[in-house]
Chains A and B, each alone.
Chain A
């Protein structure tokens, strides 16, 4: 366990800096947007009323003071009242969070369950038809825009064959297409990386030794290869999980999935800035927390990482 504490501390510091930077950008962008008070009041509100609300929101104070207040409030989960919902923004966003987590987790599990076997088989049957088809598809999955993958799935699976519903969140059947869409990029990345990680290990000396000893090919793959290919696969898999959050905005919009991504887009149309701020901040927090956990797991798995 030597070196784990300093490693942990440096990663924690980095996570804190990321979060602080994101919140600072959110603050600066908010200030650039000008005075939010006219949005809160009817257009014919008297000047005295405008000044009262400005004072109430602390907008009459110097910028550094406002900034300190903003950071303090953000840490306590206070992003102000949602203009549209007339409730604390934080509470509104929390209400939409479970749908996003459900979609994200399903997409992630689907991606891993599909990508791992494909990656391993592609490596074992290198240059076969299976390998070429899978890697061709993976290339498409990595460079095609998420929203258009969703549109194509709706067009073919829902409208053409009538197999699954196009939008909404009612049963597990509503979850399949959004999860596949959101998971497509991760699926492609994980299968490509698994393939190259397994290929690398298959060429290692100890694998040749195992084969020379007469160990069957299936056992070579299962026992000697997968375990050693695991570290890079775990890392990329974890990173993919984090980036699913960004894709959720797009996927939720395509499939009318009632999560925080769609909420954010709607709030932009409604000029409901407290909600937008809160969503960006909360997503950043989630993303940074996930990456921190991955770093931690990685550090535990592979002591060499701690040194760097």
Chain B
């Protein structure tokens, strides 16, 4: 199961990296003669379009292949941003205790108590959609789980005698973190990051679908579903092809995360 999931992600990464080599056509080149062509081996422009063309005559397969770049780039980058932020804040809350701990955990509670997509929409509405904004906003939406797990791990270890012994021998906090805390939470972090990746990819697609994510003509799965919405009746493939790829990606990645969790760290179930 995890193997299958891992292979799927690797293949997807390969497709994204090699997009210019694999994609049959330029994803943003329009061809008015070949507009809204159904999946075909010989279109009106004399070319094969395995997944058809969209309302501007662009090849849907090529766009879906390039769309993987956006999904994975934003997804992985957002996971990194959220992970760094969450791990840092979690360590800070755990080691410092006191008011930094209270502030950080109150923030976490407040964020969990609110549908983040509304806030994301507000922020993007004002700052304007761009790759950096998208990555930061989606990253911000996912720091809480990391922070909670790190904090509780620190609290558990901080009171152990060997940590006192390290301090007594002159070992630094950094040493405790690097040698004792991070190795202990590594498997939890892998599980959280996998589940977060699925969430980040879906959130990016959702924002792009709403017109707040990646802007045309750059192809993204969410944006393609949005573009095809008006042609559902006559050209169903425009929305369906990227939508199904997106749905499969989300299901497989999150199932892999579930599976890793049950294998590596069943205590995360409640999170």
Question: Residues on A close to B: CB < 8 A?
Answer: 14-15, 17-18, 21-22, 25-26, 29-30, 32-33, 139-140, 142-148, 151-152, 154-155, 159, 166, 242-243, 245-247, 249-250, 253-254, 264-265, 268-269, 273, 276-277, 279-280, 283-284, 287-288, 291
Contact = CB atoms under 8 A, between A and B. Distances in A.
B211 A159 contact: no
Given A139-B255, A155-B236, A249-B117, 7 more contacts: A17-B106, A147-B209, A159-B236, A246-B118, A280-B122, A287-B115, A288-B113
A260 B25 CA distance: 41
B127 A32 contact: yes
B115 A268 contact: no
B72 interface: no
Interface of B: 106-107, 109-110, 113-119, 121-127, 198, 202, 205-206, 209-212, 222, 225, 229, 232-233, 236, 239-240, 243, 246-247, 250-251, 254-255
A284 B114 contact: yes
A250 B209 contact: yes
Contacts of A155: 232, 236, 239-240
Contacts of A17: 106, 110
A145 B226 CA distance: 13
A166 B239 CA distance: 15
B232 to A, nearest CB: 6
A147 B211 CA distance: 13
A268 B121 CA distance: 8
A159 B232 contact: yes
Contact of A29 (B106, B109, B116, B123): B123
Secondary structure of the B side of the interface? Answer: helix
B247 A145 contact: yes
Contacts of A30: 126
Task: Give me the 7 closest cross-chain CB pairs, A-B, nearest first.
Answer: A246-B115, A33-B126, A268-B125, A148-B243, A18-B110, A143-B254, A21-B110
Contacts of A144: 247, 250-251
Secondary structure of the A side of the interface? Answer: helix
A291 B205 contact: no
B55 to A, nearest CB: 16
A287 B118 CA distance: 11
5 contacts: A14-B106, A14-B113, A154-B232, A245-B118, A253-B210
B205 A145 contact: yes
B114 A22 contact: yes
A246 B116 contact: yes
Contact of A250 (B109, B210, B232): B210
Contact of B212 (A21, A268, A284): A268
A18 B198 CA distance: 27
A276 B212 CA distance: 14
A243 B212 CA distance: 20
A17 B116 CA distance: 16
Contacts of A25: 119, 122-123
B115 A151 contact: no
Name the residue in B107, B126, B222, B229 with the highest tally of chain A Cβ atoms < 10 Å from its Cβ: B126
Given A29-B123, A265-B121, A276-B122, A151 B210 contact: no
Given A25-B119, A277-B122, A147 B206 contact: yes
A268 B120 CA distance: 12
Given A159-B232, A268-B121, A288 B114 contact: yes
A146 B246 CA distance: 12
Contact of A287 (B113, B121, B123, B124): B113
Contacts of B243: 145, 148, 151-152
Contact of A26 (B110, B122, B202): B122
A17 B255 CA distance: 35
Given A18-B109, A246-B116, A249-B117, A151 B251 contact: no
A145 B206 contact: yes
A37 B27 CA distance: 40
A283 to B, nearest CB: 5
Contacts of B113: 14-15, 18, 287-288, 291
Contacts of B107: 21
Contacts of A249: 117-118, 121, 210
Contacts of B117: 246, 249-250
Contact of B110 (A22, A246, A247, A268): A22
Contacts of B209: 145, 147, 250, 253
A140 B251 contact: yes
Nearest to A15: B113
B251 A29 contact: no
Nearest to B236: A155
Contact of A148 (B118, B236, B247, B254): B247
Contacts of A279: 118
A276 B125 contact: yes
A143 B194 CA distance: 13
A287 B239 contact: no
